[in-house]
Amino acid sequence: MASFTALFMNPVFLCNNNIRRFPRHTPNARTRLRPITAKLAEKTSLQYRKLGDSDLEISEITLGTMTFGQQNTEKEAHEILSYSFDHGINILDTAELYPIPPSKETQGRTDLYIGSWLKSQPRDKVILATKVCGYSERSTCVRDNAKVLRVDAANIRESVEKSLQRLGTDYIDLLQIHWPDRYVPLFGEFFYDYSKWRPSVPFVEQLRAFQELIDEGKVRYIGVSNETSYGVMEFVHAAKVEGLPKIVSIQNNYSLLVRCHFEIDLVEVCHPNNCNIGLLAYSPLSGGALSGKYLDLDSEAAKKGRLNLFPGYMARYKDSLAREATEKYIEMGRKHGLTPVQLALGFARDRPFMTSSIIGATSVDQLKEDIDAFLTTERPLPPEVMADIETIFKRYKDPAIL
């Protein structure tokens, strides 16, 4: 595996099938001496894939942590983290805003729980991904010196410095923009609202801020989240023209219930033979909806679920055709001897453009079921299963649109 130094001293990326090279950057001494050593776990059959143009070999499951500090205690968080890494997961995803739903009282608690766990772990075996908030007028619980959250140099630096302090580490492996600085349709919206356009921080300015942090050894790689094809291409173009760091990943919603936003054209943009951006798919179980636990709203599992604990949270999976589509998928999976979790996670696992699926769990038992779905479900899913999935999809295209 190429070292971090080798990658950064000779960065390349693919676009339009041609290898493009950026001007060379000179990392500081701390960066040069820190090789990436998070490797495959020998005792597991999880698969590992390179994340975009980076030197990171990540597991096909990423541990999501947004329940830590709200639904999970510190002890429970440590148990979930340890079980994950003991079973081959080598990357975890957090954010400065976590836990979710966000509040002034709990903001940053997820990072603190991760940080206390990291104290007993070899840091170079853990791939740590976090996120800086995009544009928001609700910044009181995140920033000290900004009335409005932006993805500008000052906000990015403050975010990173605070994240490093909470996490108890001196570097972040993957820093992502949580959502764009500009307007984009999100969280149940599908179509772009022409009237909501607003001025935003230039892409070049954002990349220059990330470059400073990379040069200081505080960040290794950068990525985006909840992004569009336009945004990805602008970041890639700005990096090429200005000799700035290229994004290596995109963290977007993707599941049986949410496919079109990525499959329409982002899949082409992110293709290894085009711009080579690795997909980290969040909510492959659609916030738990695809497990089927919300079909009976009076069940104990439904009552304890996030969609009921937090009114209005992920309403797109309750106030839409998602419930009806979920019933169809579960019925179809049963016909093929698959549990709802096996069907949903097996589908996400096998997509040719998938780098890693982000799995969250509020208990070790729940996490075990998710990991087992990756390891025990036939790989790839049989053609007859995929044919039945496409039949349902033709009738329910992205049913979670509000």
Q: Which amino acid is at 269?
A: V
pLDDT profile of the chain (402 residues), mean per 10: 35 41 40 42 74 98 98 98 97 96 93 98 98 80 78 96 98 98 93 97 98 98 98 98 98 98 97 98 96 85 78 83 97 98 98 98 97 95 98 96 88
Rounded Cα–Cα distance for residues 222 and 58 (Å) = 15
Token pair for residue 279?
Answer: 């997909």
Instruction: Pick one of 3.20.20.100, 3.20.20.30, 3.40.50.1240, 2.102.10.10 as the CATH number of 48-292+344-382.
Output: 3.20.20.100
> What is the per-residue pLDDT for 138?
64
| Helix/strand number for the chain, H first, E second | 15, 12
Q: Is 4 helix (H, G, I), strand (E, B) or coil?
A: helix
Q: How far is CA 314 from the centre of its chain?
A: 16
Determine the length of the chain.
Answer: 402
Q: How far is CA 324 from the centre of its chain?
A: 27
pLDDT digits (tens, 9 = 90+) for 231-261: 999 999 999 999 999 999 999 999 999 999 9
Rounded Cα–Cα distance for residues 36 and 127 (Å) = 9
Helical spans, DSSP H, in 177-271: 203-215, 229-242, 260-263, 266-270
Closest CA to 234 of 286, 182, 280, 189: 182
Residue 242 to residues 4, 21, 54, 236, 351: CA-CA distances in angstroms? 21, 11, 19, 10, 33
Closest CA to 263 of 327, 380, 354, 359: 354
Looking up tokens 């219930």 gives 257
Closest CA to 8 of 58, 50, 55, 51: 55
> What is the per-residue pLDDT for 139?
55
Helical spans, DSSP H, in 129-184: 153-167
- DSSP code of residue 2: -
- DSSP code of residue 321: T
> What is the per-residue pLDDT for 312?
76
CB atoms within 10 A of CB 381: 20
Residues labelled as active-site residues: 98
> What is the per-residue pLDDT for 306?
79
Long-range CB contact pairs, 258-267, < 8 A, 24+: 258/283, 258/286, 258/398, 258/400, 259/393, 259/397, 259/398, 260/190, 260/397, 260/398, 261/190, 261/398, 262/353, 265/229, 266/228, 266/229, 266/232, 267/353
pLDDT digits (tens, 9 = 90+) for 37-63: 444 334 448 999 999 999 999 999 999
State the DSSP H helix or E strand holding residue 354, giving kind and residue range, or none if neither: strand 354-360
Looking up tokens 């764009």 gives 180
Token pair for residue 125?
Answer: 């075996």
Token pair for residue 142?
Answer: 């995140």
- DSSP code of residue 186: -
